[in-house]
Structure 1
Amino acid sequence: MTDKKDQTEKPASKVDNTPKVTGVGGIFFYSDNPKETQKWYAENLGIETNNWGSSSFDSRDVDNPDIVNSLQWKAFKKGDEYFSPSKKEFMINYQVQNIEGLVKKLEKNGVTILDSIEAFDYGKFVHILDKEGNKIELWEPIL
């Protein structure tokens, strides 16, 4: 008799490296007073902040439980240029895999790429615009 768990495990040779979004990496929004907004969220909803004004929500990857995913939350001062050229009140950060392949796919599809891929010790980033002008941050974490 074969164990069901054995039937569902992916062989190492079948690792999915498709250029795509794998989750939400961050939620960022404008606030008239980010410090007071963050204080309100901490006092009322228990969302603690760190030195960068953001809070991390950690979770495990269902397919790879040894991998910890992180979601950042942050209030930015209204009008902060980080959201430019978008005029929206928010920006979403999507966690991705194969960021280089994804950028090539997006370029081929005519998507506006706002900058070059930048690498940091915690991952690679690039910014794009969706069809309605919303700035999107793509992040490939270092695993």
Structure 2
Amino acid sequence: MARVTGIGGIFLRARDPKTLSAWYAKHLGLTLSEYGGATLLWTDEIPATTGMTIWSLFPEDTPYFGKGNEKGPQQAMVNYRVDNLDELLAQLAENIPIDPHREDSDYGRFAWITDPEGNRIELWQPLVAVEKKEEPPA
């Protein structure tokens, strides 16, 4: 059974992402990367070099979090790391709203679902680098 294996990211809406990022850096010690968010590496990552959690702020008018629900726009979105995106989506297909849009990038595959309260959830399957094995001399 495919499943969630960790939190890949926490994303928040902000009126002023740059200023709020600086506040988190100053008061909570987050080290900001060039893209403006923080990358929190895991010490027990499996497979190696794929374990991390991203923390990032988005503009308050971002469409990335979806349309929201009856309570208004969604203020935060969690990215869940999964072990097998296709299998998990197949498991969810009968009962869970699944966004038909998919994204493949150089760091993983993405899909989105909606929970029973209308919250958009991002699912991420990291890509695993395949090591080349050297052929023995003939």
Shorter-normalised TM range: 0.7 to 0.9
Quote the Cα distance in structure 1 between the aligned partners of 2:118 and 2:47. Answer: 36
What pairs up with 1:31-42 in 2 under 5 angstroms? 31-42=14-25
Q: TM-score, normalised by structure 2?
A: 0.82
Structure (1/2) with the larger helix percentage: 1
Q: For 2:86 and 2:47, how far apart are their aligned partners in 1?
A: 25
Aligned to 2:26: 43
Aligned position for 2:99: 114
Q: Which amino acid aligns with 1:91?
A: M
Q: 2:66 aligns with which of 84, 95, 107?
A: 84
> Alignment partner for residue 131 of structure 1, among 109, 116, 125?
116
Structure 2 residue identity aligned to 1:75: L
Pick one of 38, 54, 70 that aligns with 2:37.
Answer: 54
Could you tell me how far apart the structure 2 residues matched to 1:133 and 1:28 are? Answer: 16
Deviation at 1:48, TM superposition (A): 1.9
Identity level (%): 35
**Runs of 5+ consecutive residues of structure 2 not aligned to the other structure:** 129-138
**Counterpart in the other structure of 1:25:** 8
Structure 1 match to 2:136: none
Distance 1:41 1:71 in 2: 16
Residues 91 and 136 of structure 1 are in contact (CA less than 8 Å); yes or no, is this contact kept in structure 2? yes
Once residues 68 and 59 of structure 1 are traced to their aligned partners in structure 2, the CA distance between those partners, rounded to angstroms, is 9
Deviation at 1:68, TM superposition (A): 4.3
Moved beyond 4 Å, runs of 4+: none
Distance in 2 separating the partners of 1:60 and 1:124: 23
Output the amino acid matched with 1:123: G
Q: Normalising to structure 1: TM-score of the pair?
A: 0.80
Q: Give a deviation string over 1:66-123, Cα, whole Å, max 9, x none.
A: 4541100011111211111222210000000110000111112x21111333211100
Equivalent-residue separation in structure 1 for 2:26 and 2:115 (angstroms): 34
RMSD: 1.6
